[in-house]
Amino acid sequence: MIRLSLHKDDYLATTKHYLSIYHTSTIQKDSDQSRAVLQSVLIFVVLAPFGNEQSDLLARVVREDPVKNDQIGWVGGFVKRFTDGELMRYNPWYVVLTCRWPMVVEVYGSELRFTDIFAIDKGDGKGQARWETLSKRVTEHVSTQQVGFLLTIEHPSNSKVFHSNQNGSTKYLSRSL
């Protein structure tokens, strides 16, 4: 099932399949296998397109004990950034929120590329395509966070960005959710 969902680039289904494997008693008994499967769960849930189901799965896997207790290493920290808004940077002088893809590449790039999921010369040969998908997901996440952030503040620059009055910019932002 995992091969089929990967062939179709269905990362949400892949996450569910790996999560089912992770919860089996055989995997839970072996800490190395458990860690490897959970790492795949965490990476594929981030690769899945944003939506209610993806958001729910992301929230559930972050609450798994190894992730909560920082036992999963760098991948746990990487995924937690998708739940706490740390992929954005706020510049108070310009009220600009910018994508943090360069930060992701700098901090996690070598570890991510080392995995079979993103490796160019290992695995199923789709590493580069997944890398580009990850870049899109980071941008998508930041955009979603940005809309939520802009909705929580009333700032005159919102009107300038969306070329309307304050009421119009809030309505525009509400529709874009």
Tell me if 154 sits within 8 A of 128, measured CB to CB.
no
What is the per-residue pLDDT across 69-95, written as a single tens digit (0 to 9) for each?
A: 778 888 888 888 777 655 444 443 333
For 88, phi then psi, to 5°, come to: -115, 160
Give yes or no: residues 173 and 89 share one domain.
Answer: yes
The gap from C-alpha 50 to its chain's centroid, in whole angstroms, comes to 8
Q: Which two tokens mark 170? A: 């809030």
Give yes or no: residues 32 and 103 share one domain.
Answer: no
pTM, rounded to two decimals = 0.73
Count of domains forming the chain: 2
What is the per-residue pLDDT across 41-63, written as a single tens digit (0 to 9) for each?
A: 999 999 999 889 998 998 888 88
Per the structure, the complete domain to which residue 136 belongs is given by 85-177
Q: Which one of 15, 50, 76 terminates a domain?
A: 76
Give yes or no: residues 28 and 107 share one domain.
Answer: no
Give yes or no: residues 55 and 98 share one domain.
Answer: no
